[in-house]
């Protein structure tokens, strides 16, 4: 992947003021990350915090249940980036009781599944227990985002996402750093329709 070249190349298209808003050390930090998922998440966070992220077009259609979807365009290759987000029905974290969200993304032909817990998870990978529908609970290790608030499914999430499409619920449990365990429940009804663009773009 060429994620480590995306943000620097984008600066050539921006006004000088916008380029100056991001320090070289911030770019270098993202570029130095070995994991492709962490590197992409770092660039995403950097772009969002400096208002450099491409505009998205949100869509809301019948049959998607509580899912919200959006599509943006990568300005470097004009390829679509598809997102599907689902807010948890229960489970809150952080000092102010922030909502927990599950996000599915297809970018550059790769699918990511991650949960934004809005709470500090730690600095390394984190143990997470999840259950899809009525299947048995699964204990697995997930990666942590660069802002330490999101857990990324380790490896390809396609098998898990296909199971989510066939079910109507997803439950995840995690213990944020120095906090009590948190359980988030999601009503995944409509996942089949909500993930259509992601499946088509990432070819699964």
pLDDT tens digits, one per residue of 16-35: 444 445 566 666 667 666 55
Nearest partner of 198 among 64, 78, 84, judged by Cα: 84
β-bridge mates for residue 88, sequence order: none
CATH class of 57-202: mainly beta
Which of the pair, 16 or 73, is modelled with greater confidence?
73
pLDDT in tens, 148-199: 999 999 999 999 999 999 999 999 999 999 888 999 999 999 999 999 999 9
- Give yes or no for residue 70 having a pLDDT over 70: yes
Residue 159: DSSP 8-state: H
Buried b (16+ CB within 10 A) or exposed e, 38-55: bbbbbbbbbbeeeebeee
- Give yes or no for residue 6 having a pLDDT over 80: no
pTM of the model: 0.70
Provide the 3-class DSSP secondary structure of residue 84: strand
pLDDT of residue 16: 44
Q: Which residues contact 34 (CB under 8 A, 6 or more apart)?
A: none
**Domain locations in the chain?**
3-49, 57-202
Q: Which residues contact 199 (CB under 8 A, 6 or more apart)?
A: none
3-state helix, strand, coil in the chain (%, to 5): 25, 35, 40
pLDDT of residue 96: 59
Nearest partner of 121 among 96, 100, 139, 90, judged by Cα: 100
The single residue listed with the structure tokens 């995944």 is: 188
Handedness of CA 164, 169, 173, 174 (dihedral sign): positive
pLDDT in tens, 38-57: 566 666 666 665 656 554 44
Q: Which residues contact 95 (CB under 8 A, 6 or more apart)?
A: none
pLDDT of residue 91: 77
Instruction: Say how far apart CA 30 and CA 34 lie, in whole Å.
Output: 9
When pLDDT is averaged across residues 67-87 and rounded to a whole number, the result is: 93
What percent of the chain stands above pLDDT 70? 67
């Amino acid at each position: 992947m060429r994620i480590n070249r995306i943000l620097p190349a984008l600066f050539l298209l921006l006004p000088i003021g916008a380029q100056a808003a991001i320090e070289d050390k911030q770019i270098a930090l993202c570029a130095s990350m070995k994991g492709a998922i962490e590197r992409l998440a770092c660039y995403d966070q950097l772009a969002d915090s400096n208002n450099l992220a491409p505009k998205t077009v949100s869509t809301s259609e019948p049959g998607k249940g509580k899912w919200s979807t959006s599509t943006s365009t990568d300005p470097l290759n004009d390829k679509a980036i598809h997102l599907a987000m689902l807010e948890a029905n229960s489970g809150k974290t952080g000092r102010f009781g922030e909502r927990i969200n599950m996000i599915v993304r297809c970018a550059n032909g790769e699918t990511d599944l991650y949960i934004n817990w809005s709470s500090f998870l730690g600095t390394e990978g984190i143990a997470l227990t999840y259950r899809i529908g009525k299947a048995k609970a699964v204990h697995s290790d997930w990666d942590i985002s660069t802002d330490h608030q999101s857990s990324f499914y380790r490896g390809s999430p396609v098998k898990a996402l296909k199971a989510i499409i066939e079910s109507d619920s997803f439950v995840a449990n995690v213990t944020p750093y120095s906090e009590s365990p948190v359980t988030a429940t999601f009503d995944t009804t409509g996942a089949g329709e909500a993930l259509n663009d992601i499946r088509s773009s990432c070819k699964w």
